[in-house]
Amino acid sequence: MLEVVELLKGTGTEISDGELVAVLLCSLPESYSGLITALEGRDESELSVDYVTGKMLDEYQRRVESCGSTDDDGTALRMSSAKSNRPRQWKGDRPNNKERRKCFFCKRPGHLKADCEAFKKTKAAEVSVGDKTGFAAAKHVSFTVCKRAYESCSAHWLVDSGASSHMTSEKTFFKSLRPYKQQIYLANGASVYTAGIGDGWLQCRLPNGRTQQVQLKNVLYVPVIQGNLLSVRQIVQHGFRVIFEDTACTVSRRSRVVAYAVRHGSLYELDCVAAEDSARVATSATCLHRWHRRLGHRDLSGIKRLLSEGLATGIDVKMCGKSVICESCVKGKITQKRFQKGMRRSVRPLDLVHSDLCGPMPTITPSGNRYMLTLIDDYSRFTVVRLLRSKDEVTGAIMEYVAKMKNRFGRKPIAFRTDNGGEYAGQQLKKYFREEGIEHQTTIPYTPQQNGVAERKNRSLTEMAKCMLLDAGLHNRFWGEAVRTAAYLQNRLPSRSVDRTPFEHFLGRKPELGHIRVFGSKVFCLVPKQRRRKWDDKAVEGVLIGYDDATKGYRILDPKTNRTWVSCSVKIVEKAGVEKCIAAPEPEGELERELMTSQPKEGVLANLDRPEEERLPTAASNQVSNVEEDRNLSEDEGLILPATKTLIRRSHRANKGIPPKKLCYRVQVPRKMEPSSWDEMLSLSPEEKEKWMSAAEEEMKSLKDYKVWELVDLPQGKKPISCKWVFKAKLDSQGRVQTYKARLVARGFSQKYGEDYDETFAPVVKHDTIRVLFAVAAARGLHVRHLDVKCAYLNGKLEEELYMEQPQGFVEAGKESKVLLLKKSIYGLRQSARCWNRKATEALSQLGFVPSQADQCLFTRKEKDGESTYVLLYVDDLLVAGSSEKLTRKVGEQVNAHFQTKDLGGVVHYLGIEVKREEDGSFLLCQKGKIAEMLKEHGMLEPKPATTPMETGYLNSLLDKSKTLPNNKRYRQAIGSLLYLATVSRPDIAMAVGLLCRRVEAPTEREWKSVKRVMRYLATTIDRKLHLSSGNEMELQCYVDAEWAGDKTDRKSTSGYVFKIEVKGGSDVCPARRGVGKLPPNTR
């Protein structure tokens, strides 16, 4: 009653205390007539609401205590008496005549419940049953299994380990209910009151499919709580066992399961059968909530409108009983209030097109895309989505869109509305708009709401894609297919801004939705007979990831072969998805089922391209293949993204005069999917197995061509070395699969020193030498060619007598007992690197090259014209720098005469360094991939920007106390990664890393924070490159400096030096080396 009064006050209706007191007294039963008479005899000024309610509760408590009704043992959580703390000011008249009293149990006058014979007999019977079953007295809350069956009105019970009693908010649950009022304190400190206590029945569904009738006794009736709670404490107290597991919870007694709960999110819900569910007759119509998931988690109002107005065919909906809240929608769509709109709508298609660019996304699609471009027709809201590799592709995408619209409708868009992003401000796009007569409308700086249609469309597409990915349980890297499917569905769903679907507005006919299925469902696809043998399976299993406009088929992902294709001969098994939903209040009104008449399937938009088969990464890998983009009008592909949240690009750009909040370049490095053993390779799909088998056969052919071994009997006393296959997918600079490699590797760890091998050292090129070579090549205009030696280690000759087992998969029939006598080095042997380096040095010496004294891997040769030719050797990678392209090609041919090489042309990627040569001959070096890999390893893909590698006050802060890190392993790993980057291509962090290196033994939280700042600086400046200038003359310069006792903790000094190759006439230098060292204390 008090709650109703509060609600009325919220509407502006005031109720005085006198009126409320009168209502309270009139609502009391006749048995409270004595209390009513006593209160009416008092002065009206004393009859406040608090005073009257206190007296009412006092009287009720007195009667409860005198009748001995319920006990505090049945309370939930924490209970306390609701008596008023005010002292008694009066004592009401109590009726003394027993004939006027009425028993609360049998309802007969003349005696009390405590003296009622019928009540005593019932109590004795309950105690007797409790003794037989091993339960406590009947007055306690119990969890009893009984054979009697009652249909439960509630099917949503949560197993709560924090509740001390069973509780429910549904009055229909009770088969018997008696008044009982107590105050309950909830976990958040709030308090509520019970309205009664009673017994009820549940029909629990067991894992084996059977149902079990379960009786709950002394369940508290609390109308104000949401949901129903099952107390673990009460269950355990009466001899039952409750076992919580990762996905389920079981209640059992003597190895017999009586109830089963399934985990939904962070809660365990009892698997119950509601009365209406058990009586419902099966129908061919599909549940409303499944259509909600089928249609990309569209809101129920949109689906109701789709049915009520007949906007689509092929959709038949049935009621699902209780309404639910979709957790996927909550996680994917929760947002703040949207801006108010106030724009005039277009009156026909293509009068106005809204456009915006979303990105860059955290990772790259298999086709190398990072951005999502949306093109929305203002009249129909029909949306076209394109994925782009970079911002400079926006112009081409818009030009292609205009051409398609002109070809289909015979007219071009009249106007484009975009923000002031740089991708829309290019001269090429402006010139195109002028030539085509298209008006380009841009927003005012710092007002993205003027382009609200495109901004909201970006948000709705990404939210729908998130929901579908969460519901399907797919990895975030499949966001491209999810966004593409979201655009496909939104074009076929009603919008608040138009009275029909965008598809019908744009194309003039209703969409057909009978083929729509839940994103991520299991698919069985027919394998054409041309691609299978007689006893092969006729269907292959896959995952539904979208729809194809061009072929009216489904886009399917095969998780085993990592391949996507389009097919219409499929069998789709939609999963239930109940685990994603939680109970919600019933909405006003219900959706009536309607029978929708079938219509012919919709036509197809005109497309210029057809989808191509593409190879996609699995959850265990991020291997990327080179695929061709789909360029359909209503879609765009892309499958990527580990993790993190989708970044929606807003219109806050630097060229608007407003600095962006984040300048970080977020990158994710793809991982490769490779079998770890021969047996694992054999378990792959036939298509994948065939590729790896071809690579293994090519390796065996190379080994035989190089005459690496000879098949012989194992001499007595000799022990052969075992071997294994190592599979590697080589990637290009964009992370796409370039070649499949299978390498036969000897297990060199079984070799014995002095018997199987002696010396193992082999030099490798210094990074200083690499930079100097590029600097000299840039200054002198030398041509640099990249050569790759095939099977480099197989060229080295062995001096020791070694035997190896025959490789798995290639054991010669009838000669299984024989072994391989190795004549040349093979990968995995301890001396293989030394053997190859010796062979390569001999070959280059025969060609007239002389190794440098500073670096044994740098070879120089004087040509006839006086110019020098350089060869840089790093294992099987060779760089040749000469005065002309013809000369480097000749050197490559000469090297190829000694061992087989592959000419890779100009250097692009060398030892993890991205190399780019400008038109003026200068070189740009960077390690973007290494930086991204380090950021990912330390969980810093989205760090805050930092403009300097170290704080200026770091040295002054060394005297401040800081907590020592419990483990320095992670600190050491980070310092190692930073040292490598500082040594190779980022000298700007050398000083900061050098200071932090001193703390590797006992780093503190201060040093760890400084390490993360260096990483943040690298993330912010990830696109910076080392520029090696071109010119005619060079000059070697050296700078040295030192400071005195700069380290305030131990007063040690620091010195540093840097060598530069200064190109006269240029402004750039080549840092050849920059070191930081510690000197002992000294004097000036």
For 872, residues 6+ apart whose C-beta sits below 8 A from its C-beta are 765, 769, 770, 773, 857, 858, 859, 878, 879, 880, 881
Are 50 and 28 part of one and the same domain? Answer: yes
Are 901 and 943 part of one and the same domain? Answer: no
The predicted pLDDT at position 657 comes to 37
Token pair for 1017: 């600086």
Secondary structure of residue 237 in the 3-state scheme: helix
Residue 985: inside a domain: yes
Check: CB of residue 693 under 8 Å from CB of residue 781.
no
Residue 526: inside a domain: no
d(CA 364, CA 374): 18
Secondary structure of residue 618 in the 3-state scheme: coil
Token pair for 33: 């007539």
Are 806 and 850 part of one and the same domain? Answer: yes
Q: What is the DSSP letter of 295?
A: T
Side-chain half-sphere CA neighbours of 251 within 13 A = 31
What ranges make up the beta strands (E) of 288-379? 317-318, 324-326, 353-358, 371-377
Domain count for the chain? 5
Residue 198: inside a domain: yes
Q: Find the helix packing angle between 969-984 and 1005-1020, rounded to 10°.
A: 40
d(CA 213, CA 209): 13
The residue segments making up the domain with residue 368 are 333-516+595-656
The predicted pLDDT at position 733 comes to 55
Residue 1047: inside a domain: yes
Strands 1053-1063 and 1034-1043, by their bridges, are: antiparallel
Token pair for 1057: 């030096």
The predicted pLDDT at position 189 comes to 65
The predicted pLDDT at position 844 comes to 93
d(CA 172, CA 253): 28
Check: CB of residue 250 under 8 Å from CB of residue 230.
no
Check: CB of residue 169 under 8 Å from CB of residue 228.
yes
The predicted pLDDT at position 869 comes to 93
Are 149 and 239 part of one and the same domain? Answer: yes
Q: How far is CA 758 from CA 275, 719, 795, 829, in A?
A: 82, 18, 19, 11
* Model confidence, pTM: 0.42
Side-chain half-sphere CA neighbours of 86 within 13 A = 12
Are 901 and 1020 part of one and the same domain? Answer: no
Check: CB of residue 945 under 8 Å from CB of residue 1018.
no
Token pair for 414: 């009249």
b/e sequence 222-237, b meaning 16+ C-beta within 10 Å = beebebbbbbbbbbeb
The predicted pLDDT at position 447 comes to 67
Token pair for 178: 């008696």
Q: Is the N-terminal amide bond of 360 cis, ω within 30° of 0?
A: yes
Backbone CA torsion sign across 686, 687, 693, 697: positive
d(CA 617, CA 637): 14
Residue 842: inside a domain: yes
Q: Find the helix packing angle between 394-409 and 427-436, rounded to 10°.
A: 20
Burial class (CB in 10 A: 0-12, 13-18, 19+), 992: buried
The predicted pLDDT at position 161 comes to 82
Are 162 and 184 part of one and the same domain? Answer: yes
User: What stretches of 68-116 show up as alpha helix (H) in DSSP?
Assistant: none
Are 862 and 717 part of one and the same domain? Answer: yes
For 219, residues 6+ apart whose C-beta sits below 8 A from its C-beta are 141, 165, 166, 167, 168, 173, 174, 197, 198, 199, 200
CATH number of the structural domain spanning residue 254:
2.40.70.10
d(CA 29, CA 52): 15
Are 43 and 91 part of one and the same domain? Answer: yes
CA-nearest of 394, 365, 370, 510 to 454 is 394
Check: CB of residue 121 under 8 Å from CB of residue 127.
no
Residue 665: inside a domain: no
**Which amino acid type is present at position 446?**
Y
Check: CB of residue 619 under 8 Å from CB of residue 640.
no
Query: How distant is the alpha carbon of residue 666 from its chain centre?
Result: 15
The predicted pLDDT at position 93 comes to 42
Secondary structure of residue 121 in the 3-state scheme: helix
Are 150 and 238 part of one and the same domain? Answer: yes
d(CA 1063, CA 207): 78
Secondary structure of residue 915 in the 3-state scheme: strand
Report the run of H or E that residue 547 belongs to, with start and end: strand 539-548
d(CA 121, CA 110): 18
Are 726 and 874 part of one and the same domain? Answer: yes
Q: At which of 262, 279, 296 does a domain end?
A: 279
Are 110 and 137 part of one and the same domain? Answer: no
Are 1053 and 991 part of one and the same domain? Answer: yes
Give phi and psi for 1071, each to the nearest 5. Answer: -70, 110
Residue 797: inside a domain: yes
Secondary structure of residue 685 in the 3-state scheme: coil
Give phi and psi for 598, each to the nearest 5. Answer: -75, 140
Q: At which of 69, 84, 115 does a domain end?
A: 115
Burial class (CB in 10 A: 0-12, 13-18, 19+), 597: exposed
> What is the largest distance, in Å, between two alpha-carbon atoms of the chain?
136
Q: At which of 622, 656, 690 does a domain end?
A: 656
d(CA 353, CA 417): 6
Token pair for 10: 């919220």
**Which amino acid type is present at position 501?**
T
Residue 120: inside a domain: no
Check: CB of residue 991 under 8 Å from CB of residue 1056.
yes
Question: 919's torsion region: left (phi>0), alpha (psi -120 to 50) or beta?
Answer: alpha
CA-nearest of 168, 198, 202, 170 to 184 is 168
The predicted pLDDT at position 667 comes to 38
Question: Average pLDDT for consecutive 10-residue bins of the chain (1084 residues)?
Answer: 67 73 79 77 75 79 58 34 37 45 70 70 46 31 34 67 85 86 74 87 82 84 84 85 89 85 86 57 58 82 73 69 72 66 71 86 69 87 85 86 86 86 83 88 74 82 87 79 87 80 85 86 85 80 83 79 78 65 41 30 35 35 33 33 37 38 37 76 84 91 89 89 89 68 89 85 90 89 91 87 91 89 90 91 92 92 90 91 92 90 89 88 90 87 86 76 85 92 90 87 89 92 87 79 78 80 52 41 36
